[in-house]
Amino acid sequence: MSQPYTELFTLRDLLRWAISRFHAAGLAFGHGCDNARDEAAYLLLHALHLPPDLLEPFLDARLLERERQRCVDLIHERITRRKPAAYLTGEAWLQGERFLVDERVIVPRSPIAELLVDALAPWIEHPDAVASVLDLCTGSGCLAILAARAFEQARVDALDISSGAVDVAHANVSLHGLEDRVTVILSDLYDALPPDRRYDIILCNPPYVNAQSMAELPPEYQCEPELALAGGVDGMDLVRRIVKQAARHLTSEGILVLEVGHEKPHFDAAFPELAGIWLETASTSGQVVLLTQADLLARDALA
């Protein structure tokens, strides 16, 4: 080990050093952590096999040489490979739940997860009455699993076009012990569903990044599967298909909860006649729209 690292005695020393290195390297964040300090803390705690939410009690703990080397190696890997931290650790945390991830899926971070904490209240008045949920473009399966937690009487179908994503989602369903309630299906959007299959709730975090934004993505985001991000010239290629077919797969009181990220202007331009409710979260505004079956049928009648 080179001399500078032998001067990093405690976890606090390593945390300060890692933050400095991250800033100097100009890393991009946004895959579970939105700043250098939180990401450095997460990686260091992972390297030390400590819980991700217990930094403070260990800040002044002195590290063994082999522990220090593990930490240094992981910080170097984050800088040199420019991969999201979740791909380096093989896991991501969303709303306090652990999910397995790798480069076959995007790193879980959808604001829909925050809305599921309160079971989509007030838009869903009786969570126990929800019998069926569909999670389109499920990726790692995180939203399907959180939906199963929020709506304890519901059966959840989780669909994705990527066989790799389906494998990861299966692993997460097993990890959470939900094999009896969450079914993972390989499908191009709704194609694998019976024509008469209807749901009380459809959740969807689809590929919606427009072509110009895709070309400007930092290296960390370029590590994620393009299939799960790219939405065409205006970001709406798949969104158009999702909206067009949603009504036929919703119950009469059903809702579609659709994430479009920073593409609201493109969404509004693509669907000028579509009424909807834009849902707020603690960290986002104008990124998730709620559409009822009535909204969607009214649009179909005007189309």
- Partners of 293 in the β-ladder: none
User: What per-residue confidence (pLDDT) applies to 2?
Assistant: 44
Angstrom distance (rounded) from CA 88 to CA 238: 30
Phi and psi torsions of 54, nearest 5°: -125, 60
Where are the strands (E) in 181-226, listed by range? 182-186, 199-204
Domains and CATH numbers, the chain: 3-89 (1.10.8), 101-302 (3.40.50.150)
Angstrom distance (rounded) from CA 217 to CA 219: 7
Check residue 26 and report its DSSP letter: T
Check residue 56 and report its DSSP letter: G
User: What per-residue confidence (pLDDT) applies to 298?
Assistant: 86
User: What per-residue confidence (pLDDT) applies to 301?
Assistant: 55
User: What per-residue confidence (pLDDT) applies to 275?
Assistant: 84
Angstrom distance (rounded) from CA 263 to CA 268: 9
User: What per-residue confidence (pLDDT) applies to 36?
Assistant: 97
**Helix (H, G, I), strand (E, B), or coil: what is residue 94?**
strand
What is the tens place of the pLDDT at every residue in 62-83? 999 999 999 999 999 999 999 9
Angstrom distance (rounded) from CA 164 to CA 105: 8
Phi and psi torsions of 46, nearest 5°: -65, -45
Angstrom distance (rounded) from CA 267 to CA 235: 8
CB-based contact 133:120 (threshold 8 Å): no
User: What per-residue confidence (pLDDT) applies to 199?
Assistant: 98
**What token pair was written down for 185?**
């299906």
How far the first Cα of the chain sits from its last, in Å, is 67
User: What per-residue confidence (pLDDT) applies to 211?
Assistant: 97
- 250-259 and 182-186 as β-strands: parallel, antiparallel, unpaired? unpaired
Low-confidence ranges of the chain (pLDDT < 50): 1-3
Q: Which residues contact 161 (CB under 8 A, 6 or more apart)?
A: 137, 186, 187, 188, 189, 227
Give me the count of residues in the chain: 303
User: What per-residue confidence (pLDDT) applies to 1?
Assistant: 39
What is the tens place of the pLDDT at every residue in 226-248? 999 999 999 999 999 999 999 99
Alpha-carbon distances of 245 from 62, 190, 193, rounded to whole Å: 58, 8, 12
User: What per-residue confidence (pLDDT) applies to 7?
Assistant: 84
